[in-house]
Structure 1
């Protein structure tokens, strides 16, 4: 594996990331040569032992599926993970696809298929889509090519990791002696802070060796306000989460020099299932030309399919000399709402600040919104 120094150069200040790549990146070296994705060779899938439902965690009336989150499950072989790491940690990706935001200090995105063909083919393969859809409880497709995939990186030297762990232990002992119940360390310095995802579902895959890792779980805020922790997946393992509707954070990992996770976003395949996609968390860390064009394309394709289906109903009714006025007006109102949501998400380029969310729309619970408002802004 690459060293921690290579994995995590100093995170740039907000607003200094390369949000728009110049055409010079077309001349950059391509992804390292390697195998092409072969499901028979590169999948190591075993079904998760447990899938929590939205009802079980207090969100029975929310979402596009009854399923909320899975336990970690084996998904990719060691060879597949090795090739994914080679692609996403390559120099062209670091040079052209690195971002930083309020939520996370080191992120890589927008690299496939150009710099990561293996990663791209893996997440578009019928076998992987079938697995993710089965666990999610609804047929899914990748949200956009831009979201294949998103990398969150946290790394420390061995000395830094040991110092942090010692400080945590001392803090825990001190608070126990004083009878203080303080906030856990991971809540103060998570890898990715509290948020809801921009897309209905995500599949989070671990690219790091977690043998000695302490922590690194995904914390979920349930409908009752309690915090539920889903243990972090081992290397090559994954979890599936309906993250658009559940506030969550990636907790800091101790006992290891790196934690690298791959987040791939999904939406329902059917144009007739509601699409609650927003661009809140991805707009500040994306090339807006790519993000907006891909978003507009798939949304207009959904609208086109819906209009064609309703037009067929009108034509069928015409032959039977009938017209359903109420149904047509309801359809128009639904599509008007669909278009209004697009207008809200396509924020003018000059109004977007790199790395800054521009509000608290990524949260919905009062206590987390209050904590977010109190955080210092860089």
Structure 2
């Protein structure tokens, strides 16, 4: 994965900057990053991620395989120790909630030997701060970053913090999909982003309508009366689904 991230085609075509993070690699695609894309689409990896999440997941869309956040120090930072105060645990990225996809898998791509810090910190509903176990190269954290306030803490004793963020959504078309493009819109090719977003959302809508039709055929063949409240509820949900799409497709 590191070899593909730092390959010349990716460096030439896939680097973005934003106010939130100074260096992000996005939209590598299967042509420039075949191993990375194959890995995140493999049945074995998806099964493990789904097991952790407690629901069957698939990549949100090909465009989101994957986003790589790169934080590099100009010089080696002294190793953090217990004498540091809480204020000295500076974050690599600010406190935030993801305003895009329901689930993310954050994978550490840096060699963490001799490094202290670099954890993902989570803020609970009571305001308590919890830290995910210290990272190591190849370890990953699956979380619902859209709903949990979190940040990446700064790493000490290391020269870099490179994390790969892959976004996921529920495989079932019947699970509520609240994906939004707020954070990713400024660091994306909008034509490609909107194409893939529209495609997967319309596919979900198509599956929902087909399922509704099957139920209607069955109801009619069973000589059962038309269920007005149920049909109205279904139609309102799909109307809200389409309206949320319209809100996301802006220039």
Residues 244-259 of structure 1: pairs in structure 2 closer than 5 A: 244-259=146-161
C-alpha distance in 2 between matches for 1:274 and 1:321: 28
2:42 aligns with 125
1:133 Cα offset (Å): 0.5
Name whichever of 225-234 and 92-101 sits farther off.
225-234
Q: Residue 91 of structure 1 is aligned with which of 8, 20, 24?
A: 8
Which structure 1 residue ranges, 4+ long, deviate > 3 Å from structure 2?
A: 182-185
Q: CA deviation at 1:194?
A: 2.1
Cα distance change, pair 232–110 in 1 and its aligned pair in 2 (3 A): farther
Do residues 287 (structure 1) and 183 (structure 2) align? no
Partner of 1:341 in structure 2? 244
Alignment of 1:106-185 (within 5 A): 106-157=23-74, 160-162=75-77, 165=78, 172=84, 183-185=87-89
Contact persistence 1:104–1:193 (CA under 8 A): no
Residue 204 of structure 1 deviates from its aligned partner by 1.1
Distance 1:295 1:232 in 2: 34
- Structure 1 unpaired stretches of 5+: 1-83, 177-181, 350-378
SS in 2 for 1:296: helix
Distance 1:327 1:345 in 2: 28
Measure the CA separation in 2 of the matches of 1:192 and 1:282: 16
Aligned length: 248
Matches within 5 A, 1:55-70: none
Measure how far apart 1:102 and its partner are. Answer: 2.1
Q: TM-score, normalised by structure 1?
A: 0.63
Structure 2 unaligned runs (5+)? none
* Alignment partner of 1:196 out of 94, 97, 100: 97
What SS does the aligned partner of 2:105 have?
A: strand
Paired with 1:242 and 1:125, the residues of 2 have a C-alpha distance of: 21
Q: How does 1:73-84 map to 2 (within 5 A)?
A: 84=1
Q: Secondary structure at the match of 1:228?
A: strand
> For residues 204-233 of structure 1, what are the alpha-carbon distances to aligned partners after superposition, in whole Å with 9 as ceiling and x for unaligned?
111111011111011111111222111332
Deviation (angstroms), 1:195? 2.1
Query: Take 2:240 and 2:127, find their aligned partners in 1: how far apart are those partners?
Result: 30
What is the CA-CA distance between 1:321 and the residue it aligns to?
4.7
- TM-superposed CA distance for 1:288, in Å, is 0.5
Other-structure match for 1:237:
139
TM-score under structure 2 length normalisation = 0.93
Aligned-partner SS, 1:291: helix
Work out the CA distance in 2 between the residues paired with 1:101 and 1:195: 15
Hey, what does 1:26 align to over in structure 2? none
Matched residues in 1 for 2:201 and 2:118: separation? 35
Question: 1:321 and 1:247 mapped to 2: Cα distance?
Answer: 48
Q: Distance in 2 between matches of 1:214 and 1:250?
A: 13
Report the equivalent of 2:219. Answer: 317
Separation of aligned partners in 2, 1:279 and 1:135: 25
The question of whether the paired residues in 2 share the 8 Å contact of 1:204 and 1:238 is answered with yes
Q: What's the offset of the Cα at 1:193?
A: 2.1
